[in-house]
Amino acid sequence: MGGQSLRKRVLVICTHNAARSQMAEALLRWMAGETFEVYSAGTEPTAVHPLTIRVLEEMGIPTEGLRSKGVDEFLGQSFDFVITVCDQAKERCPVFPGGEQIHWSFPDPSAVQGSEEEQLEFFRRVRDMIAQRLRLWLSVTLREQRRGPVP
């Protein structure tokens, strides 16, 4: 037990690491401060969607340093929590030993067709859904962390 960092490590995974997992990474970092080390990755990484950056910045959430990464960048590392945020990523996610596996299914805002305003509205909706889920998860996780392991 000695020498183990008090900061919990979290990896959020979706398919392209372009929208949902990027939102979750930035939101959780912002909400949790120094409590967690937060990363995100994709099973088939592409690039961060411009509307992802826009909806995060609307909330005043820092976006510098966000980049699309592949899960292979994190193989061999250990995480306390591995959270998949889309069904396809859950099926293709490599195993990260020792971490608690969590799955939340969110719709893909990148797949929405329509005007820029319609797309932006959907990105905001998904961002808010992710933020709500993270707030709840964070409150439960921090409460359990303060209480300590159950004997």
pLDDT in tens, 49-67: 999 999 999 999 999 989 9
Q: Is 93 a catalytic residue?
A: yes
Record the pTM: 0.88
In a domain, 147, yes or no: no
* Choice among 38, 61, 93, 126 that is catalytic: 93
Asked if the structure places residue 146 within a domain, the reply is no
The answer to the question of residue 95 being in a domain is: yes
Residue 3 belongs to some domain of the structure? no
Tell me which of 14, 23, 32, 48 is the catalytic residue. 14
- Domain residues for 29? 8-139
Report d(CA 125, CA 45) in Å as an integer.
Answer: 23
Counting the structural domains of the chain, the total is 1
CATH number of the structural domain spanning residue 83: 3.40.50.2300
User: Does 150 fall in a domain?
Assistant: no
Residue 82 has pLDDT above 50, yes or no: yes
- Contacts of residue 87, defined as CB under 8 A and 6 or more positions apart, other chains included, come to 105
Q: Is residue 148 included in any domain, yes or no?
A: no
72 or 3, greater pLDDT: 72
| Contact predicate 38/107, CB 8 Å | no
pLDDT tens track for 104-133: 999 999 989 999 999 999 999 999 999 999
pLDDT > 70: percent of the chain: 88
Spell out the alpha helix ranges (H) of 6-115.
20-32, 50-58, 87-92
Residue 90 within any structural domain of the chain = yes
pLDDT over 50 at 17, yes or no:
yes
Is residue 144 domain-resident?
Answer: no
2 pLDDT exceeds 60?
A: no
CA distance 78 to 64: 25
86 is catalytic: yes
Sort 128 into a burial class: Cβ within 10 Å, 0-12 / 13-18 / 19+.
middle
